[in-house]
Structure formats: structure tokens, C-alpha cells
Structure 1
Amino acid sequence: MPDLDIAAHARALAPANDPSFENVWDELLWRGLVHVSTNQEELRELLGGDPITMYCGFDPTAPSLHLGNLVQLLLLRRLQLAGHRPLGLVGGSTGLIGDPRPTAERTLNTKETVAAWVAQLQAQVERFLDMGGPSAARLVNNLDWTAPLSAIDFLRDIGKHYRVGTMLKKDAVSARLNSEAGISYTEFSYQILQGLDFLELYRQYDCRLQTGGSDQWGNLTSGVDLIHYVEHTSVHAIGTPLITNSDGTKFGKSEGNAIWLDAEMCSPYRMYQFWLNTDDADVIERLKIFTFLTREEIEELEGFVETEPFRRAAQKRLALEVTTTVHGPEATAAVIAASEALFGKGDLQTLDATVLRTALEELPNAEITSQTTVLDALVQTGLVASLSEGRRAMSQGGVSLDGVKVTDETVLVSGALPGGVSVLRRGKKTLAGLFVTS
């Protein structure tokens, strides 16, 4: 297993803001983390002054957070490192409803499912924030203050401050009103519930700032406006940009599958490869948003992208840093070892069996018996289209099994690697995984 970069290891355990910025607000702007906000001059003064309390909400609409949520978690961590106190809100009540999607009504999950997901998301949030010290983070659940609230009290004390005309103008609501699906009263009311969250956190913890994605701006300002009406004071909101790839495709999606933060739903190997495959046009922006590398370090990597793009130094650093932050240095070292060994730069026999299997699951693969020939396996995995093409590839010396060249078409697959698997290779870079049964 290769030695993990010592700096990445230390950063994962004790991340730090860039000391070249006088105010954390200036660093947020440089990293491109502010797409929309309330008054910027007031925010800069607020974040550069005495510690404040801020929050971000995460709804349990799935059993894991994903890369979009990671943007918010790292933003909270950056603000915490500047001395401010984060609240991680996991929405036990708003998760029962779900914020309006642009196209269709959400399927409502059971209360038992949502409660289980709340616990899972809280455990994930804790991994990214410091839960001790003078700026200790705190986990909160909005079910605590919405469950005791009667419908009459909700309408009298909160609903009366909202104007339907204003609510209809919110982007998510207007999009749904103009769609065939329309919008239910349940989802229409979501913005009021999120506004109530900010009000409660202001009252309980003097919370002065909420962060979220810019697509949530209507919900963010719902709380800002409510506090202004009820408490006659100003609070703030920051909307981070929605991250898309340079070609306009949605970031964090691979054939419809989100990149989850739970290792069971998205293996560390898959996450590492996701970042490693970042386009040159996107990698510097990703380094700014998803890592704690300094401006000087990122500018150096930007130079490599321009002068030596074939080395993919920026992508390798991005994959190293983010996978270490999400899954830890040991898991990252294991997936780097697997990645290098699969492409001929390490010993396949020394790899962890679980990591190797998850790596092979990301490749073309097939489940075969120990009586399968290498030639048949080439066809079953799709590395060749026919037996005749497979024979030709073998005769030309372009086929190997577990790193050993195979020219005899009668050779059987061994499954000799850890976990009873084998790696089939055609040419230098075309690989497939073989899961061998008896």
C-alpha cells in the first residue's frame, strides 16, 4: 500500500483556512462559494467580527448525503474554522414533506423511514464538523419544535406573516405551477416550515446566518423575511452556486446515480475515480470548493493544468484530498493502491479483498466458474465481440490474466487474487473484473 501524502493526511484530520485571507468572507468569494447573498458588506463585517451562530439544513429524503450536501458541510466547516458556531439541522419534519422539485411531487416516506434516515444523516454531519471546543457544532432536529405545534397555532403565529402572492413567485413554486404536475398544498407550505426553522434557531441560539444552495434561495429568504417581520431584526443568508460541469451536465451524476457520502452506497474507490476523471476545465473550480488547499497550492496546480495537462496532477490531488476528507486516509490509501495495481503499477496480490472487489465492480465484469477459459471470459465481459477476435488478441500478445500474459486459449481463469477474483486485461488500459465461483 502506498504512503499517503502526509499533508493530505494532516489536512483531513485538522483542516485549516487559508491564512492569506484577512477575512473568511474574502476566502469564500475567492473559492466561488457565494452565488447569491443578503447584504455583502454586512456579511463581511459579520463574519470578520465576533463569533456568530449559523446553520444549514439537510433533509432526510435518502439514507445518505451526497456531493451537493458536501458543499454545505465544507462551507460550515470553513466558517467554524474562522471561529463561528455551526448548527447542523437534519429535518425530521421537513423530511416528511420534502422541498418542491421543479417537475413532480415527491413520494412521501413513512415516519419510521424518515426517523431512521435522520439518525444516519446526523452521524454523517458529525464527521465533517468539530463537535468540541469553543466553536463546537451542535446537531438539531426541526421535529422538536414542529411536532408540538398545533395547526391552528402554526397558521396564527407563522402563516399570518406570509403573503400568497410572494410565495407564488418563488422559483420552485412557479416552476411547478407551470408544469402538468402542479403543486400540492403540502409542498407549497415547505417554505413556511423552513422559515420557521430559522426563526426558532434565531430565538434559541441567536442564529444569524443560513447557508444553502442557490436553488433554495426562496426558502432561505423565507426565514430572513420572517425574522424581520416577527423580531424586527436583520439576519443573513448565503446561496452557494449550483455546480455543473463545463459541458453543462449536472455535476455529481453518473448514469443517474448520485455520488453518495456513504461508503456502502458509493465505494471509496468509485469516489476516487469520480474525482480523478474530472475534466481539465472543471478541476480548479473543484479544488477551490471541495478542498482546503491554499490559494498558493491551487494556483500551482492550475499552472500544471496549463503546461502539463497529461500528468493530471490537479485531478490526482483533487481525488486524494476529497476522498481522504470523506472516507479517511486509510481507505484512500487502499483505493490508490488498487487503482495503481490495476493499471500495472503495483502488486495485485497485496490488495485488500474488499477494496479490490469494489474496484472490479466499477469495471466491465462477469461472474464465471473456475472452468471458464480466458478466451470465453473475454467474450463474457465484452472485452471482445467474438471468439475469433479473442483468439486474435491472444495471439498478438494483448491479453493478460492477473498481470500474466496469456496466449493459450485453453487456459482457465484462476480467481487467484484476494477474494477469489481475477483481473482480465486487453491491451494496456482495457480491463474487466472476473468473479469466480466454484
Structure 2
Amino acid sequence: MSEAQFDLIDHLHARGFIHQSTDLEGLRAHLQERPRTFYLGFDATADSLHVGHLQGLMLMRWLQQAGHRPILLIGGATTRIGDPSFRDESRPILDQAQIQANIAGITRTFGRYLQLGEGAGLVVDNAQWLDGIGYLQFLDQVGRYFSINRLLTFDSVRQRLEREHSLSFLEFGYTLLQAHDFTELARQHDCTVQLGGADQWANIINGVELGRRRDQRALFGLTMPLLTSSDGKKMGKSVNGAVWLDEQRLSSFDFWQFWRNCDDRDVARFLALFTELPMSQIAELTRDGGAALNQAKVLLADQVTTLAHGLEAAQLAREAASGVYGAGEDSGLQSLTLSRAVLQPATLAQALVQAGVQPSRGAVRRLAEGGGLRLDGELVHDVDAPLPAGTLQWRLSLGKKRHYRLTID
């Protein structure tokens, strides 16, 4: 970690991780003094993390490699409430079985990015202390230190009220629960730094203030910029839905393709945030544009997929991407397998509708008419022609970004 050891805060700032801090110079000195414990929270709303969480995981990775200890706090308790920050509606309430299944799913991802276990990083569930605390005890230990007047000034609350959207008492109290989380981690694990997205600023400030006013403990907060692509889309989303980090939810090929197909304007920024390549190399890779920039995108996809799924998966995905255009293997492609018995009639148009990748036969015809449909690299013109008899398999391309292995048996 020679780059990070020079000055960790400057390093993180140069790579684009720092948005706000409760005391940046104090934090710099705090981290330089000795190894510290820091945390980032994740609510268990799905059984996989997505690329919107990747910025935080990479920030934690840099901090751990610089000698600090990460805590991944899973909101087993707070997931049942839902963070109202910059949301217009309440999140759906999940039952305990769903939450536990989601915790198991997202915990698998952590080990790809961080060293976990004895003497390394920890995975902690806030249900350990929140499930057992009584209401009066919580008011005494936490509630007395907060002013309703001040809470109403926070943007995440104020915007909901100004738009006359419902804000439940449960949601209103979320920021107090998160403040309690910070101070409880400080008490149990000497955790002194909280990380979060820019939308968590108010929640982080409250934890820092609670530690100062009640416990006389110096705590620090650091937020990352809210991340969007240059076309304005929120990171973690694509035209086909969430870009999951768990291969059980999204194939390594589709994950690789997401990064390979990013906007030219995002390549340098994404290389800085989501890979460990030196900044000097990133500047060199993205300096000239054109074909060189396309090679930089391939390197970006390789690097990010290797971290998320392993080197072999990244190599297979890259080979499969080449195979879409006539070379290499397609073992990394997402599979679509259909029975000929359910296809009535057995045509490519019907197969794509049956597989759920196109809404109607008319949509398939329009895609073909626009030159956006290929089998094994060859343009398809007649999508209503009968499929050949027997079991067959093709590489199927819908436009430039959606590729599958299609099997009809």
C-alpha cells in the first residue's frame, strides 16, 4: 500500500472517495496516530449488495490495507424500520426470516473485498443491542440528547414534510438508532470512525454529537459523494435492473459487460474508485481516448470483475465477450434454456418472449428490423421462421449490450 501510506487522506481524496468530514484534519491526525477501527452500515433489504455499494467497500478496502480495522455493520434491527433519508415513501417492511436470509446473502460478498476474522475485520448485526433495549432505557440513554427542532432541519426529514409525504414515528427515530449504533460500536470495539454516503451526513453527525455530549468521546465521520454515471443514472442500476455483486443474482458475464459498456466520460473516475491501479497509470490509460479508451474499459471490467467474482470468472467473461463477435468461448454467458414443447410456434420470436427478454413478438421483429438481433454473430432477419429440429444452442445478442447463451431442447 505504498500509495496510501504516503498520506491516506490525500490518497482517498485523489481517488474521489471524500465528500464531507466532521473534522478532516482531525481525522487525518487520528488515522496517522495508530491503527483505528471504522465502520460502514448496510441495511439487509436484499440478499445481495449491488454496485451502488461498491464505492463503500473499496473505501473500506483502502483503509484496511493502510492498517485500520473495518466493521461491516448489518442493520438486522434497523432494516425493520427503514432509513427515510431522501426517500419519498416508506420502505416495505420485511419479516425476520427475510432479513436473516438477506444477511446471509450479503455477508458472502464482504469476504471478496476485505480480510475478515480474528484480528481482522468484523461483521456485526445491530440487533445484538437494539433488540434488547427498552423504550424508556433508549429515551434515557439517547433521546434526551436530541432536539426535535434540530431534527426537523435535516434535509432528509424536511423534504418529506415539505412534500406532505408521510413520515412515520418509526422512521423519524431512525437517526437516533444510528447514532446509538455508532456509540455502541465505540463502546464495544473502540470504533471511532463512521463512513457513509452523502445522504447519511445527518445521521453521522448525530452519532458524533452523541459520543461527544454523552460519552465525552471524540468520534469522526466521513462521507462519500453520491455516485451517478455521466448520463445521470444512479450507480447500481441498469436498463435490466440492479447490477448485483452476487453471481447468483447476476452472471459474471453481464457484470463484466456493465463495466465494459460504461460511458467514456466515466472511465477514469471508475478506474480510480473501483480498481487499485495507480493514479499515474489511470491517467496514462485514459489520456488519448479512442481505441486506447476502449482498452481501458476492458481493463476496468477485468479488474472489477476479478475483485467481485475472482480471476477465473473475469477471464471467462472476457472470453465470452469476444465470443459474441465470433471468437472465444461463451461459458460466461447468461443461459436461456427453453423446452421446444412450450414454444407454440417454435420460432425465435416466440422463444425470446417465452424467455422474458422481449415483451412481444412485435418487439422482437422491430429489434431484428433495426439490425439489433444476432445469432452466433449473424444478423437475424426472419424471426418468425421455424427453429431447426433437435437440440441446438446459439450465442444470442440483443443490441450491443445484452448477450446470452440460448438453448432450445
Return the TM-score normalized by structure 1.
0.81
Aligned to 1:109: 94
Pick one of 285, 306, 319 that aligns with 1:324: 306
Deviation at 1:256, TM superposition (A): 6.8
Specify every segment of 5 or more residues in structure 2 that has no aligned partner in the other structure, as ranges.
Answer: 353-359
Does the CA contact (< 8 Å) of 1:370 and 1:437 recur in 2?
A: no
CA-to-aligned-CA distance 1:163-218 (integer Å, 9 cap, x gap): 11111112211111112322000000000000000000111111110001011111
Q: Does 1:423 align with 2:395?
A: yes
CA–CA distance in structure 2, aligned partners of residues 149 and 313 of structure 1: 54
Distance 2:65 2:367 in 1: 58
Checking the alignment, whether the CA contact within 8 Å between 1:415 and 1:434 is kept in structure 2 is: no
The alignment partner of 2:167 has SS state of coil
8 A Cα contact 1:56 1:211, kept in partner: yes
**Correspondence for 1:212:** 196
User: Using the alignment, how far apart are the partners of 2:381 and 2:232 within structure 1?
Assistant: 45
Q: In structure 2, what is the equivalent of residue 193 of structure 1?
A: 177
Change (3 A) 1:24 1:405: closer
Over aligned residues, Cα RMSD in angstroms?
Answer: 3.4
Runs of 4+ in structure 1 off by over 6 angstroms are: 365-368, 373-379, 404-411, 428-432
Q: Identity rate of aligned residues, in percent?
A: 36
- Where do 1:7-22 residues align within 5 Å? 17=1, 19=3, 22=6
| Letter in structure 2 aligned against 1:421 | Q
Q: Distance in 2 between matches of 1:264 and 1:278?
A: 22
Call closer, same or farther: CA 1:312–1:160 in 2, change over 3 Å.
Answer: same
Amino acid aligned to 2:303: E
Does the CA-based 8 Å contact 1:401-1:423 persist in structure 2?
A: yes
State the AA in 2 paired with 1:343.
Answer: Y
C-alpha contact (below 8 Å) 2:264/2:293 kept by paired residues: no
Aligned to 1:292: 276
Distance 1:437 1:146, change over 3 A: same
Distance in 2, matches of 1:195 and 1:399, equals 53
Instruction: Map 1:396-407 onto structure 2 (within 5 A).
Output: 401-402=375-376
Change (3 A) 1:199 1:407: closer
Amino acid at match of 2:322: E
In 2: Cα distance, 1:431 partner to 1:35 partner: 34
User: In the alignment, is the contact (CA less than 8 A) between 1:366 and 1:434 conserved in 2?
Assistant: no
Q: Which amino acid letter does the alignment assign opposite residue 126 of structure 2?
A: N
- Residue 105 of structure 1, CA deviation: 1.2
User: What's 2:357 paired with?
Assistant: none
Deviation of 1:131 after TM superposition, in Å, equals 1.7
Larger Rg: 1
Number of matched pairs: 399
What does residue 7 of structure 1 align with?
A: none
Listed one character per residue, the Cα deviations across residues 408-436 of structure 1 (whole Å, up to 9, x for unaligned) are 998853676xxx4223579x969875745
Deviation at 1:343, TM superposition (A): 1.1
In structure 2, the CA distance between the partners of 1:414 and 1:216, relative to structure 1 (3 Å rule), is farther
Residue 123, structure 1, aligned to residue 108, structure 2: yes
Secondary structure in 1 matching 2:208: helix
- CA shift for structure 1 position 140: 0.9
Question: Aligned partners of 1:67, 1:232: CA distance in 2, in Å?
Answer: 37
The equivalent residue for 1:82 is 66
Which runs of 5 or more structure 1 residues have no equivalent in the other structure? Answer: 1-16
One-letter identity of the residue aligned with 2:325: F
